[in-house]
Amino acid sequence: MPDPLPLHDGCPQPRPDWVPEGCASDPAFATWVMQGVRPSGASTVRPPTRRRPTLSTEDYVRGVLARDPGVLGRAITLVESNAPAHQRQAQEVLAALLPHTGKARRVGLTGIPGAGKSTFIEAFGLRLAEQGRRVAVLAIDPSSAVTGGSILGDKVRMEKLCRHPNAFIRPSPSGGSLGGVTRKTREAILVCEAAGYDVVLVETVGVGQNEVAVRAMVDAFVVLLIAGAGDEMQGIKKGVIELADLLVINKADGDNLPRCTAALAEMKRVLHYLRHATEGWQTTVQTASARTGDGVADVWATLGQFFTTGERTGSTARRRREQAVAWMHALIEEHLRAGFYGAEPVQARQAEIENAVANGALAPMAGALALLAAGGR
């Protein structure tokens, strides 16, 4: 029970503070302070502000394997965390999930901003989800960290897919280095696989190096192109096309259709001269429109052929083995680099040696040896 309210002038009913002394029984002051009504049995103790209970490693593992979407989301948040304690737990969770991973089709999808990636994924993902497949979408969008706008746009463009029980959509953490995003996305793929997703789509904005990073973590790579945007701009010269197993000339609808048909013929010709991304697979090109739905099913059909071929030739399994080994080396390099540049004696001498190299007082090789020596190497 709360403390009883102070009585006023000995009056059995308390009066408000502003009632002058000695006027408690004056009928001119008609206000009384009444005891508040409390439902019987209600606690007088204020409940603590609700915090989600922390999950144990076992809770994470059990929840992910039970396909609990809430736990899946939290497991990915754990994997994405940069806090050392979280990273330790994340590695425990991943180690326990590892035997349950590897069964999904891992598909990367890239294209310049505005190529129609999100709209395409909505149409494509919904198709798969409605066929009973479980689809996870991991979207890496470095621009969203700055503008915040594209995530909002994606929510609108993937509205139906967002709500479909067979789909799980997760934007990448904003900011952070490409290396950080790469680690998090790789690990998020594994968590999604353990949660029983059959298809994991990794969407990335084609702005440069992140296509290469995504290519190194997926089985199949799809590049969305739009007719008339300028080949150079879309990465033909940057070699993005050479990363692709499947090129899709998107927005092939309405007035744009003739241009897309022309682009299709042109691209078929170009493909003869390019190196193919996957051994034993001839990179294909086709048109599609997420707006009309034309060609969307064909993209899945082509991917089906790609995976069938990959099983027959063993190229998918081989690529995964190579990816795992390359990733291990990338992690070692990252660890060594961080350890070296983070060491106090290296930090103490780095600026001075850099200046000497910049001024020409020291050759780059001599500078490298001096800094390595400072770091005890």
Ligand X SMILES: Nc1nc2c(ncn2[C@@H]2O[C@H](COP(=O)(O)OP(=O)(O)O)[C@@H](O)[C@H]2O)c(=O)[nH]1
Residues engaged in binding ligand X (CB under 6 A): 111, 113-119, 153, 157, 250-251, 253, 289-291
295 is in the binding site of which of ligand X, Mg ion, none (Cβ under 5 to 8 A by kind)? none
Q: How far is the CB of 136 from Mg ion (least distance, A)?
A: 16
DSSP secondary structure string for all residues of 50-80: P-PPPPPHHHHHHHHHTT-HHHHHHHHHHHH
Q: How far is the CB of 236 from Mg ion (least distance, A)?
A: 21
103, HSE (Cβ side, Cα atoms, 13 Å)? 16
290 is in the binding site of which of ligand X, Mg ion, none (Cβ under 5 to 8 A by kind)? ligand X
Does 119 bind Mg ion (CB under 5 A)? Our answer is no
Nearer of residues 166 and 289 to ligand X, judged by Cβ:
289
Q: How far is the CB of 110 from ligand X (least distance, A)?
A: 9
CA 79 remoteness from chain centre? 11
Q: Which residue is nearest to Mg ion (CB)?
A: 118
Rounded CA separation 36/325 (Å) = 69
Question: Nearest 5°: phi and psi at 285?
Answer: -135, 140
Nearer of residues 94 and 205 to ligand X, judged by Cβ:
205
Helix (H) or strand (E) holding 9: none
Rounded CA separation 87/93 (Å) = 10
| Piece of the chain touching Mg ion by CB under 5 A; list 11-19, 77-85, 115-123, 367-375 | 115-123
Does 118 bind Mg ion (CB under 5 A)? Our answer is yes
74 is in the binding site of which of Mg ion, ligand X, none (Cβ under 5 to 8 A by kind)? none
215 is in the binding site of which of Mg ion, ligand X, none (Cβ under 5 to 8 A by kind)? none
Nearer of residues 163 and 272 to ligand X, judged by Cβ:
163
Rounded CA separation 186/315 (Å) = 20
Which residues lie across from 139 on neighbouring strands?
Answer: 171, 203
Q: Cα angle at 203 between 199 and 208, to 5 degrees?
A: 140
Give the CA radius of gyration of the chain.
Answer: 30
Nearer of residues 97 and 285 to ligand X, judged by Cβ:
285
Nearer of residues 182 and 289 to ligand X, judged by Cβ:
289
User: By the criterion CB under 5 A, which residues form the site for Mg ion?
Assistant: 117-118
